[in-house]
Amino acid sequence: MTTQSLVSVHDAARWFDVSSPWLDRVINRKPRVMLRAVDGVSFDIAKGETLALVGESGCGKSTVARLLVGLYGLTRGAIHFDGQSLADASGPQRQAMRKRIQMIFQDPYASLNPRWRVGRIIAEPLLTHTQLTLDEQRAKVEQLLRQVGLDPSDQNRYPHQFSGGQRQRISIARALALGPEFLVCDEPTSALDVSVQAQVLNLMKDLQRDLGLTYLFISHNLAVVHHVADRVGVMYLGRIVEIAERDDLFNRPLHPYTRMLLGAIPDLTGSGKARTPVGGEVPNPLNPPSGCTFHPRCPLANDRCRSEAPATMAVGTARVACHAVQEGRSV
């Protein structure tokens, strides 16, 4: 893995207008309401690296994924891919970047067209973005199927004839069709059985090694993250509260929320470690708490936490946004 950044995200935000219709607001004098799904996220991903984003449902992980592949536009901030701004890219530059950035979706049952045969599904990017002949496309599809552990004859079957794990392999083959460098993986194994998850994760690690891929891996499963990630970012209510090397984060978590997430992992080693449930509930994102948004659930919260949002600071190789860490207050 090199230290050169392939992806750079700076102060990225995506807000959604969830206000009542215009006429209703005028008649009933209702204010405009904005949902801040992502609000000031910054990180870099080096070439060949896997950065995982974790957090509870609704924290903004999937919105970050869609920002990176261009499915959503930025409200503010900047995203650069290999030095090129996604927002400022011209038409031809966007077309070129689409070949280099691909996405694997969460549910293989929903992301594949049930009316198409597998060969057509995988060949669709080739038909849209390349000048390959039909014979060349067919040969490429067969190569991709072998690459993901399926048989070339599978191209003549329909998605419903495959298991969940096989469907996700088909999704991976489609994502690899154009030879991308960066894959955004939005919980790619959460819809699969545990035994199948391991097979798909090992396939993705093998492909990363063989093809030099870079991953953004979205997940809420910390065991999966520990298996695949080089670095981990922890999100809470649209912001990254801690980002660190994987082993540092799992062994020496800094932010109280990270400690809470890790404490909720069941012990499967027989060591007798008690499971600590995550306390409290995620606040309403339409009306987030003042100051540090985690303070209603935090055992270390004080008056400063309730009134002042913490800035992100460096602690060794990690970065964390927490007044308690900054002031040296321990758990």
Per-residue pLDDT tens over the stretch 246-263: 999 999 999 999 999 998
CB-side exposure of 159: number of CA atoms within 13 Å? Answer: 21
The architecture (CATH level 2) of 5-271 comes to: 3-Layer(aba) Sandwich (3.40)
The strand pairing partners of 315, in sequence order, are 318
The strand pairing partners of 218, in sequence order, are 53, 186
**For a pLDDT cut of 90, what percent of the chain falls above it?**
71
Which whole-number Å values give the CA distances from 175 to 80, 197, 276, 288, in the listed order? 21, 18, 38, 37
Quick check: 1 pLDDT over 50? no
Helix (H) or strand (E) holding 101: strand 101-104
Which whole-number Å values give the CA distances from 39 to 36, 277, 293, in the listed order? 6, 27, 12
pLDDT score, position 191: 79
Collapse the DSSP code of 109 into the 3-class scheme (helix H, G, I; strand E, B; otherwise coil) and give the result.
Answer: coil
Average pLDDT over residues 199-220: 95
- The pTM of the full predicted model, rounded to 2 decimals, is 0.91
C-alpha–C-alpha distance, residues 66 and 72, integer Å: 6
- Rounded to the nearest 10 degrees, the angle between the axes of helix 118-129 and helix 164-176 is 20
pLDDT score, position 280: 76
pLDDT score, position 270: 53
- Rounded to the nearest 10 degrees, the angle between the axes of helix 134-147 and helix 164-176 is 130
C-alpha–C-alpha distance, residues 234 and 225, integer Å: 11
DSSP count for the chain of H helices, then E strands: 12, 12
- The residues, any chain, with a CB within 8 Å of residue 77's CB and separated by 6 or more, are 9, 10, 11, 12, 13, 40, 41, 42
The strand pairing partners of 12, in sequence order, are 41
Which whole-number Å values give the CA distances from 106 to 35, 186, 270, in the listed order? 23, 5, 32
- The residues, any chain, with a CB within 8 Å of residue 162's CB and separated by 6 or more, are 118, 154, 170
Query: What count of other Cβ atoms lies within 10 Å of the Cβ of residue 45?
Result: 22
DSSP assignment, residue 325?
H
DSSP assignment, residue 79?
E
DSSP assignment, residue 302?
-
For residue 57 the two structure tokens come to: 């449902």
Helix (H) or strand (E) holding 119: helix 118-129
Cite the beta strand spans of 135-189 per DSSP E: 182-186
In the predicted model, what is the mean pLDDT of the chain? 91
Q: Are 35 and 285 in contact (CB under 8 A)?
A: yes
CA-wise closest residue to 103 among 41, 201, 188, 37: 188
Per-residue pLDDT tens over the stretch 17-71: 988 888 888 888 888 899 999 999 999 999 999 999 999 888 999 999 999 999 9
C-alpha–C-alpha distance, residues 101 and 99, integer Å: 6
Quick check: 190 pLDDT over 90? no
**For a pLDDT cut of 70, what percent of the chain falls above it?**
95
Which whole-number Å values give the CA distances from 3 to 6, 7, 165, in the listed order? 9, 11, 33
Quick check: 226 pLDDT over 80? yes
